[in-house]
Amino acid sequence: MKWFRLGLISVVLLFGAGCMVGPDYSKPSVPMTAAYKEDQGWKLARPLDHIPRGKWWEIFGDAQLNALEEQVSEANQNVKVAEARFRQARALIGFFRAGLFPLVTAGASASSLRNSPNRLNGSAFGGASSRDFLLTGDVSYEIDLWGRIRRSVTSARDEAQATAADLETARLSLQAELAFDYFELRSADAQQQLLNDTVKAFDEALQLTIRRFEGGAAPKSDVAQAQTQLETTQVQATDIAVQRAQFEHAIATLIGKPPADFSLPPAPLDLQPPDIPVGLPSELLERRPDIAAAERRVAEANEQIGIAKAAFFPTVTLNALFGFESSSIRNFAGWQSFLWAVGSSVAQTIFDAGRRRATSEAALANYDATVASYRQATLDAFQQVEDNLAALRILEQETQQQARAVLSARESLQLFTNRYKGGVDTYLQVITAQTTALANERNQVDIMRRRMDASVLLVKALGGGWNVADLPQL
């Protein structure tokens, strides 16, 4: 009989290890294309072409940017928040995994009781006293027949992996934001340098008109026009300082410093956008941490469906109690004081007014929502890559066109200045040529800024060198 009971328990345990209700997980399909629409004429990736893993910003070749980027992961508070969320999710795996093992508790008690002499009048127990010493251990184990506990562990593991991907998404976003702000600041430095040089040139032009006026070769209106042009440009040069200060403050915050404790010396933007291999659209699913997080949450939602379905089946629990009990401390640990009890229980909810069904329907709806979020994240990623590929391709053409426009504007300004000196044209033509030349030169700097920004955003859209293989195996 004893061996029969042990065999029966073994069969139940083996059955429980293999039975699991609910759907098996399969990765949902997503919208896919064979190639990017906007990569026509773009640099094709070769086997050795890749974005540096981790330190992707090094492709820009700026030592100051490299030094700043190294500080983001260590000092930025938003990264610390995301890292703490990951540690929290990882700890929950252990919480749910504990359900796969028996729960063992222990307890001890000591009591002394004196009965009232008036209790049970005439009884031999009247006025008697008693003592009781008790030490027990309790073992309780839920047999995971339907996979509820195992699915809870898997669900927690999926959430922890999603949170790890969230951490990488936060880190990548902040690194990209830092690079973006850095190039905006350097562009402001370039604009500042251009405007300062222009102010000097306009001041020289003003002195020319003053000399011509004093010599009777030019009217007073020429001096007024030159003075207005100079002061207008000075205002523009001063206004650039506002933008630069704001970007410098943003960079300080990103690296975890108060703006008052941080400054960057001026250095005009003098970089060329790097060649960035984009790979194939199918590879994007493996390179974006936000897409990986969305997919892991689909897997988590799938496990929640199984957990909800397991609630429709009985819960089987094995229990055991053992310990020592005696009325005297002297023979408390003796064999005669030993006690034990074993048993099992089966619990099945008969009526819950639709609670389990509602929970199951909610789990199914949540799964559908996570699938839609996963697919939308993929579409958004494709759009971001396409947007920045188009921006870089078109801005490269615009750079060449703008360079020719700058040369023409400078030549025109020189010609009108010479004609004015010779008394052929009025100063109005010089003013017009100055305005046109300055606008083209500022636009040239702005196009370079946009190209650098698009490069940063393309790297971010491609995942910054991250790969789904980097997810922790928990």
Query: How high is the pLDDT of residue 27?
Result: 92
Query: How high is the pLDDT of residue 120?
Result: 53
* Angle (CA) 7 13 15, round 5°: 105
Helix (H, G, I), strand (E, B) or coil at 172: helix
CA distance 265 to 67: 14
CA distance 185 to 265: 10
Q: pLDDT tens string for the chain (474 positions)?
A: 454 454 445 544 544 455 789 899 999 999 988 888 877 765 554 444 556 677 899 999 999 999 999 999 888 999 999 999 999 999 999 999 999 999 999 998 888 777 766 655 545 555 566 778 888 899 999 999 999 999 999 999 999 999 999 999 999 999 999 999 999 999 999 999 999 999 999 999 999 999 988 888 889 999 999 999 999 999 999 999 999 999 999 999 999 999 999 999 999 998 888 888 888 888 898 999 999 999 999 999 999 999 999 999 999 999 999 888 887 777 777 778 888 899 999 999 999 999 999 999 999 999 999 999 999 999 999 999 999 999 999 999 999 999 999 999 999 999 999 998 888 888 999 999 999 999 999 999 999 999 999 999 999 999 998 888 888 888
Query: How high is the pLDDT of residue 435?
Result: 94
> Which domains, ranges and CATH numbers included, belong to the chain?
18-94+151-311+356-470 (1.20.1600.10)
Q: Which two tokens stand for residue 237?
A: 């040069």
Q: Which two tokens stand for residue 368?
A: 């559908």
Q: Which two tokens stand for residue 378?
A: 């993929």
Q: CB of 266 within 8 A of CB of 192?
A: yes
Q: Kindly give, in sequence order, each residue whose CB lies less than 8 Å from that of residue 301, ignoring residues fewer than 6 positions away.
A: 363, 366, 367, 369, 370, 371
Length of the chain: 474
Query: How high is the pLDDT of residue 132?
Result: 81
Q: Kindly give, in sequence order, each residue whose CB lies less than 8 Å from that of residue 421, ignoring residues fewer than 6 positions away.
A: 208
In the 8-state DSSP scheme, what is residue 435? Answer: H
Query: How high is the pLDDT of residue 41?
Result: 61
Query: How high is the pLDDT of residue 14?
Result: 47
Query: How high is the pLDDT of residue 126?
Result: 52
Residue type (1 letter), 454: A
**pTM summary value:** 0.86
Query: How high is the pLDDT of residue 40?
Result: 72
Query: How high is the pLDDT of residue 56?
Result: 92
Kindly state the greatest CA–CA separation across the chain: 142
Q: CB of 188 within 8 A of CB of 237?
A: no
Q: Kindly give, in sequence order, each residue whose CB lies less than 8 Å from that of residue 93, ignoring residues fewer than 6 positions away.
A: 153, 156, 157, 160, 474
Query: How high is the pLDDT of residue 292?
Result: 95
